[in-house]
Chains A and B, each alone.
Chain A
Amino acid sequence: MGKDSFKFLAIICLIFLMNGVISCAAIKPAPTKPAEDKAAEKLKQLKQERKTEIGVKRMPTEMEKKVEEEEKIRKEEEIKKLEEERKLVEDKLKVAEEKMKVEEEKARLMAEGEKRIAEEKLKLADEKKKVEEEKMKVAEEKMKVEEEKARLKVEGEKRKTAEERTILMAEEEKRRTEEGRVKPAMEAEIKPQIAKESKGEVITELEDIYFDFDSSDIRSDAKDILLKNTEWLKKNPDKKIQIEGHCDERGTAEYNLALGDRRAMSVKKYLISLGISAERLTTISYGKELPIDPGHNEEAWSKNRRTHFLTITK
């Protein structure tokens, strides 16, 4: 037994020695020296960079933290103030919206046939109209000449786009009927909720309105145009319109899609406030996807920040 265990020990020792030899051979570095040096240098560099980063960071953090915190508090206070201001504005907006609602209801009642309110409204409207008409007459006469020029141009362009759209629609309908069989049930379930297959027609009386950069607020010049558009809508009570929101090319496609939506919505709200029924107004945002002027300057941008109006026929 003694001999046996001695043998085992000897064999184990041998094996370990062999391991040592093999792994020593194996550990021999494979890459060339320059590469090794490069690697070592880079490691050193990296370590130094880390150290300096850490060093630089640690020293001023306590000082900076205080400053940063103070700044943060300041900023937060500023934000709070701004938010308070905004709340006030929003409150005002709410009041305005409530007013709009009341007016909507009135309009509805009117449509239902309550003569008194209608008559009162008409009187008021007539009085307003008289004043406005007088103002407008002068402006209109000036405008007429310009408008006629513009109309000739615009009509040509708009006819083209309208024609293109109708062609597209026809193509789409073909495709839809073809695809109808293949399409999964899911689509069929959701799709009928909205009737988007309506056709658009450009009415030259409905003028585009324009916005400031990154804004969906209705400018004062836009209010005048919307008033005119409202007149047309009141004269054509059977017409429904779609309000297209557009943006200029600056900024991201994502944010601009949202901004176009806001522009169309704020025009819709404004038209409602002028007595147009919400049911006659739909909105769509094209973001920055359909510029009317392809230029890359303020002149083009100001033309592209717009809402455009189409009548919808089913």
Chain B
Amino acid sequence: MDKMPEFVGKYKVFSFLLLSSVLFSLSSVFADTPDVYLSLTRIGGAKINIAIPEFSLQDGFLDRENLCQKSAEILIGDLNNSAFFKTVENRDSLRDTHAGDKKSGKINFKEWTSLGTEILIKGNLILEGERVHIECRLYDVKREEQIDDYKFSDNRNRFRQIIHKLSDKITYRFTGEKGIAMTKLTFVSRTTEREKEIYISDYDGHNINKITDDKSITLFPKWSPDGKYILYTTFKYKNPDLYLTDIKGDKTWAISNSPGINAPATWSPDGKKLTASLSKDGNPEIYTMDLDGKNLLRLTTYSGIDTTPAWSPNGREIAFTSDRSGTPQIYIMGFDGTNLRRLTYQGSYNDHASWSPDGNKLAYSSRSSGQFDIFVINLVSGKVLQMTSGAGNNQNPTWSPDGRQIAFSSSREGKYQIYTMNADGTNQRRIIYLEGGGYSPSWSPRFESVNSVTSP
């Protein structure tokens, strides 16, 4: 009787050991591949070589819209943008090897390896009325095995979005970091000589939509932290007033329309407050307010210009531009106006501070040798890095939500247009061309609630 509990106890210990060790060994087997790639990508140096041949279409369907090629191109664009992957570029051998695989019904891993492939992605498209189903398999070429498969379905008019979603899945699978291929940009473009309107596009510049129709000057769109609204300034009622619109442009709300300027403005990181430059007291000063424009709190008391506020990601500080030193320079203060200090000393004209998502850096535009360029100051080390140079002006930097890219407006090719670059200044490219130009971009957050990465 006395020995029974001891016996049971031993078995308990035994079964625990058995279970845990089996779990451990299992997890080490299955978590092996991603850990290797995770560690590679987290170092930040090595890019994963990924091969994406054209997708296949179900038998008996004609690919009139060229979707097979498009899907591969969109995915290649996304993964190259992410800076984690390098896509295998030899198109001919890619096509030949892919065709060989199709013929034999097997994947010729040796040949894929010889093309420098580490990860192979094979996609199938199935068209069904207005819907498109995408099935995608990921292979580890070295280990000669399938490591994942994804399935998505959506309306055909959202084709690019489905591929972006796939790209975010793949990015997350190999880096542990949520992708940004589903994010969007909002910006301003001129519609007539005297009118500008607010636009929205995908992060890669496709899928452009005009969301305001104020037939007036609209300026400074700023995406809300939850991605549902855009704050902007409009002259619709013959004064620069602060307005809010949903991202479809269906509903608008007046926020602040005091006499004088009510702009520019932006959000607090929790989306519950706004900060804006208002001149209702005689000159432009920085205020905070609730979303209905009430509960106004004035933070600055200088008789010249205080403008372009930017709330820090941790909500504690506000960067802004002031000419109190004689020239426009960037200052930082607490969200209640205390602890004011000057940040920039280089350059005779600095404006438009934009905090990196981790709060460690500020991008801004600065005039150097007569033209404006994007600079990034590291708030920890104080080190300043110039991101753009050469022809034209570069202004209005805005960070991608992963902090790995910066969108901006540049006149390097004549008219101002929207460009993006990696956060280190590499890979600068125009992503939009509009006759009316592109100004004042603001990068959206990730749309977690609507299109979660984890739920297919």
Contacts and interface: CB of A to CB of B under 8 A. Distances in A.
A19 B352 contact: no
A282 B239 CA distance: 11
Contact of B220 (A8, A251, A253, A285): A253
Interface residues of B, number: 80
Interface string B314-345: 00000001010111100000000000000001
A254 B254 contact: no
Contacts of B372: 251-252
B144 to A, nearest CB: 11
B252 to A, nearest CB: 8
B45 A258 contact: no
Contact of B325 (A82, A90, A251, A254): A82
B456 to A, nearest CB: 25
A283 interface: yes
A35 B118 contact: yes
A265 interface: yes
B118 A46 contact: no
Nearest to A290: B194
A116 interface: no
Contacts of B321: 254-255
Interface in A181-198: 182-184, 186-187, 190-191, 193-194, 196-198
Contact of B25 (A11, A23, A45): A23
What DSSP secondary structure best describes chain A's contact surface?
helix
Contacts of B327: 214
Interface string B238-277: 1110000000000111100111110110000000000001
A143 interface: no
A39 B393 CA distance: 37
B391 interface: no
| Most B Cβ at <10 Å: residue of A11, A26, A79, A265 | A26
B257 A255 contact: no
Given A31-B40, A254-B351, A194 B239 contact: yes
Given A29-B36, A261-B283, A23 B28 contact: yes
B113 A30 contact: no
B219 A289 contact: yes
Contacts of B207: none
B21 A19 contact: yes
Contacts of A57: 381
Contacts of A22: 25, 28-29
A257 B261 contact: yes
A258 B307 contact: yes
Interface string A234-260: 000000000000000001111101110
Given A15-B17, A39-B43, A254-B220, A262 B239 contact: no
B352 A261 contact: no
A187 to B, nearest CB: 4
B87 interface: no
B345 A254 contact: no
Contacts of B29: 22, 25-26
Nearest to B40: A39
B25 A18 contact: yes
Contacts of A75: 345
A257 B264 contact: yes
Contact of A38 (B37, B46, B237): B46
Contacts of A8: 10, 14
B45 A283 contact: no
Contacts of A168: 215-216
A4 to B, nearest CB: 8
Contacts of B49: 35
A172 interface: yes
A197 B238 contact: yes
A305 B254 CA distance: 30
Given A22-B25, A23-B28, A30 B36 contact: yes
| Most A Cβ at <10 Å: residue of B46, B283, B326, B345 | B46
Given A8-B10, A254-B220, A255-B349, 6 more contacts: A12-B14, A35-B118, A82-B325, A164-B194, A190-B257, A255-B328
Interface of B: 10, 14, 17-18, 21-22, 24-25, 28-29, 32-33, 36-37, 40, 43-46, 49, 113, 118, 140, 142-143, 194, 196, 215-217, 219-220, 235-240, 251-254, 257-261, 263-264, 277, 279, 282-284, 292-293, 303-308, 321, 323, 325-328, 345, 349, 351-352, 365, 367, 372, 381, 395-396, 439-440
9 contacts: A19-B25, A31-B37, A168-B216, A171-B215, A194-B258, A214-B328, A214-B349, A251-B367, A282-B259
